[in-house]
Amino acid sequence: MDPLLPRQSDILSLAKSQGRVDVDGLASHFDVTPQTIRKDLNLLCDRELLERVHGGAIYPSGVANLAYEARRLLASENKAAIGQVAAQLIPDNSSLILNIGTTTEQVAHALRHHSGLMVITNNINVANILHAVDGLDLIIAGGMVRRSDGGIVGESSVDFIRQFKVDYAIIGTSAIDQDGSLLDFDYREVRAAKAIIKHARKTILVCDHMKFERQAPVCIAHLSDIDVFVTDKAPSEEIVALCETHKVQLVIAEHQKNQAAAQPEISE
């Protein structure tokens, strides 16, 4: 599946912030023809990122989780920047666990140039990214593989994770509430994430700004349980205050065009 064009990603962002976008308004905003916008909207709707309505499209509502391949395309460049910055925080010759998520996959891509790592994961996609890297020991959890995203979930994967005490945990989340709650959709995945946090000396949360606008029903943890939070845009004043109160290092990794990696802005 081809990545989204920058204009299509911007249309998604507008739809997310406004709830609805219309063809004529988008054509004027981007200085393109209505036909071009209709093609963009059709593509976004075909990928289940938007829902078509008369004259435009709306952003899907409710707590339903987007299809994994669709989520991989959302803010893909921003996620890559987050991955690059998070990987910079991991020294060579360390041990870490990466859990399920499209952003943690980007961290895995960025870790391929490290050496002496021991990586544990319950994410088949992460395993596929790292399995052929020289000088890296890869350990993958056993259990039921979730067809939707390649995540390995269930009690056996949780028991597997409990065997370890690693230097770093790199986790994602589906949503962040304004009270600092980290949320997800699948209680089985949440149990694994809780175990990962408990069995790591330092936990790094990686997620893009869209997670501040989503809702999910199951609580993984709280921002106070996190050591470093890497995201792509400055969060709300409430989230910043929570990070300051609980001494969570906030790192902003904004995507910069024509650069191989974004330069982090770090808030202590």
Residue 30: its pLDDT value, please? 94
Residue 153: its pLDDT value, please? 87
Amino acid making up residue 41 = L
Residue 176: its pLDDT value, please? 95
Residue 213: its pLDDT value, please? 79
Residue 64: its pLDDT value, please? 47
Measure the CA–CA gap between 120 and 101, rounded to whole angstroms.
14
Which positions ≥6 away from 254 have C-beta within 8 Å?
A: 78, 81, 232, 233, 262, 265
Residue 68: its pLDDT value, please? 64
Amino acid making up residue 83 = G
Which positions ≥6 away from 53 have C-beta within 8 Å?
A: 20
Whole-model pTM: value is 0.74
Measure the CA–CA gap between 87 and 71, rounded to whole angstroms.
21
For the chain, which domains are there? 6-61 (1.10.10.10), 71-267 (3.40.50.1360)
Under-50 pLDDT residues of the chain: 62-64, 256-268
